[in-house]
Structure 1
Amino acid sequence: MRAEDKVRGLSCWAGPVTVEPLGGGITNRNFVVTDATRRAVVRIGDDIPVHQIMRFNELAASKAAFAAGVSPAVLHHEPGALVIDFVEGRTLAAEDLQQRPMLEQALALVARAHREVPRFLRGPALVFWVFHVLRDYAGTLHDGNSRHAPLLPGLLDDAARLEAAVGPIDLIFGHNDLLPANFLHDGQRLWLIDWDYAGFNSPLFDLGGLAANNGLTAGDEDWMLQAYFGRVPDAALWRRYRAMKAASALRETLWSMVSEIHSELDFDFAAYTATNLTTYRAALAAFEESHG
């Protein structure tokens, strides 16, 4: 069944519907639907085991995030489809988050999600441990005869060093995919969207991802760590943070490598891999230069 036909056939609509593709997604097929009473966003996608995406988890996290006041409401769900309240606004670009006022809003929203979402979470919960994800991605790439297979031994060695540097962690409930397009601004406030990868994690992963995915400066990072933790970051915190930032960039790189051979979406994953590999190498160099 075509994705658009599945959208039209959902049981939640009142009367005839208009269906418009919503661009920008690189994991799911998304649509804006208007019926007689409302507008909604529909996300079409089944479980994606190679990316450890489980839709029961996305649904539970999305409901909890709405209850926590950080995400739009879940209106309906059926197997392979999630219907979310439409919020008029625009998704951010990295350049938006490089501006301190917007970064302040984003960090406050992420911190609120870390604190509040687990209070409303129901049912089984997943852990998102990036170093397990990296090892699993490496196995998937090896099994799929990826063109990137020669890089894997070195990247896994890097990952082992980074995991050791991260050390013991505090546990929060993370979004774990803080790309700029997962922030939506309605003209008054920010919303956090797309909980595909949600799970318990270290806060450093979301902070590192926010920095790596949005090109934050060292000054931005210093401000971010002080604001989040309420203290001036010491050398130990910087070491753990820079290690997790590099791991976050490596995860996005391997995610793209896996998508090159498994995704059916029309997207230039090869170019995305190259961009993220450059980001990762810069993050790893910053870690090694500062901490050896």
Structure 2
Amino acid sequence: MHERLTRALQTWRDWQVEGLQAAPRPLRPLGCGLNNHSYLVASGSQRFALRLAGKKLAANPAWQCTEWQALALAHRAGLAPAPRHLDTNAGVLVCDYLSPDANVAENLTTVGALLRRIHALPQLTPGPTLAARCEAAASAVRYAQPGTWQQLQALAARVGPLLTRLEDTGPQGLCHNDLLRANRVTSGGELWAIDWEYAATGPVWFDLAAVCAGDELDSPARRALLTGYLGTAPAAPDWQRLNLFECGYRYLELLWHIETATDPAAASLVEKQSRLAQCIDATDAH
């Protein structure tokens, strides 16, 4: 990884940055996820976030290009940091680094408003449908962990009919698709969206469900999020759409957890299955 970072820093003359006089130096890791590695790097007073793509993202240059396009659109709208460099062959993305404000309590109404502005951006190439993403993840689990898949078949059978309804439910727009707490930062008094790896045109209610389920928001927080997004208090059909998309998100999250974890904790799997089952029950009740 050190050699890869060194090679990425050596491309600094190709970065779209005015006045960059010297090669940036690494300061510290920004995060080491299951797929990608990010670093804070600096040249003089300028700071950047440099991401080295993991195998899955590095093998998909089209995903990287879509992310770059989404970042550029969002930056021009004041929603994301400026993208500075993309090398799809090396799997390198460089953006401005946004220094987080200290001691800021997040307002979920503001998060909802941020999502509304993201969804108003020009649309890009549609990504795979949620049903297709789930099927790809399910196939990987069936192949690699047939015993675990056997345990999931009852849930999979229940969620399958719901997935077919999702793509035609609600409007489409440019979606971030992963705007969880870790991918939101308040800097300079403004809320920004970072890490646009999964950005694509798709159903906007998936974005809302991802925040609610991914951050495990309670009922008041969900109401604040939807109120900020809709500009008014959510009505019964809004809650029903949210719950439907939460089923899809939780199923995809469960499959992704099984697929990527080398040894998924049994307790975590049971909890995720239970929450998915509760979502399906709530949807069936409507």
1:193 aligns with 2:202: no
Cα distance per residue 1:212-260 (max 9 Å; x no partner): 1112122332343344234554444322220111211221221222212
1:78 aligns with 2:87: yes
Which residues of structure 1 form unaligned runs of 5+? 262-268
Range with bigger deviation, 154-163 or 102-111: 154-163
Pairing partner for 2:29 from 21, 24, 32:
21
Report the Cα distance in structure 2 between the residues aligned to 1:27 and 1:237, rounded to whole angstroms: 33
Distance 1:142 1:291, change over 3 A: closer
For the 8 Å contact 1:91–1:180, the answer to whether it is kept is no
For residue 174 of structure 2, give the secondary structure of its aligned residue in structure 1.
Answer: strand
1:89 to partner: Cα distance: 0.9
Report the Cα distance in structure 2 between the residues aligned to 1:51 and 1:157, rounded to whole angstroms: 31
Amino acid of the structure 2 residue aligned with 1:172: G
The match for 1:282 is: 275
For the 8 Å contact 2:74–2:118, the answer to whether it is kept is yes
Query: Alignment length, in residue pairs?
Result: 273
1:132 aligns with 2:125: no
For the 8 Å contact 1:131–1:159, the answer to whether it is kept is no
Pairing partner for 1:69 from 71, 74, 78:
78
The match for 1:266 is: none
Report matched runs for 1:12-161 at 5 Å: 12=13, 14-19=21-26, 20-36=28-44, 38-45=46-53, 48=56, 54-79=63-88, 80-89=91-100, 102-116=107-121, 118=122, 125-145=125-145, 148-161=148-161
Cα distance per residue 1:175-211 (max 9 Å; x no partner): 1112210001115111100111111111211111111
Report the Cα distance in structure 2 between the residues aligned to 1:243 and 1:183, rounded to whole angstroms: 24
Identity, in percent, stands at 23
Amino acid of the structure 2 residue aligned with 1:106: V
For residue 107 of structure 1, give the secondary structure of its aligned residue in structure 2.
Answer: helix
1:251 aligns with 2:238: no
Which residues of structure 2 form unaligned runs of 5+? 14-19
Q: TM-score, normalised by structure 1?
A: 0.80
1:173 aligns with 2:174: yes
Report the Cα distance in structure 2 between the residues aligned to 1:129 and 1:193, rounded to whole angstroms: 22
For residue 184 of structure 1, give the secondary structure of its aligned residue in structure 2.
Answer: strand
Range with bigger deviation, 50-59 or 176-185: 50-59
Cα distance per residue 1:126-167 (max 9 Å; x no partner): 324222211110012223346632234234213213225545
For the 8 Å contact 2:176–2:199, the answer to whether it is kept is yes
Report the Cα distance in structure 2 between the residues aligned to 1:255 and 1:142, rounded to whole angstroms: 12
For the 8 Å contact 2:120–2:174, the answer to whether it is kept is yes
Distance 1:106 1:5, change over 3 A: same
Amino acid of the structure 2 residue aligned with 1:104: T
For residue 261 of structure 2, give the secondary structure of its aligned residue in structure 1.
Answer: helix
Amino acid of the structure 2 residue aligned with 1:237: D
For the 8 Å contact 2:172–2:203, the answer to whether it is kept is yes
The match for 1:270 is: 264
For the 8 Å contact 1:253–1:277, the answer to whether it is kept is no
For residue 195 of structure 1, give the secondary structure of its aligned residue in structure 2.
Answer: coil
Report the Cα distance in structure 2 between the residues aligned to 1:91 and 1:107, rounded to whole angstroms: 22
Distance 1:183 1:57, change over 3 A: same
For the 8 Å contact 1:75–1:83, the answer to whether it is kept is yes
Over aligned residue pairs, what C-alpha RMSD do you find? 3.1
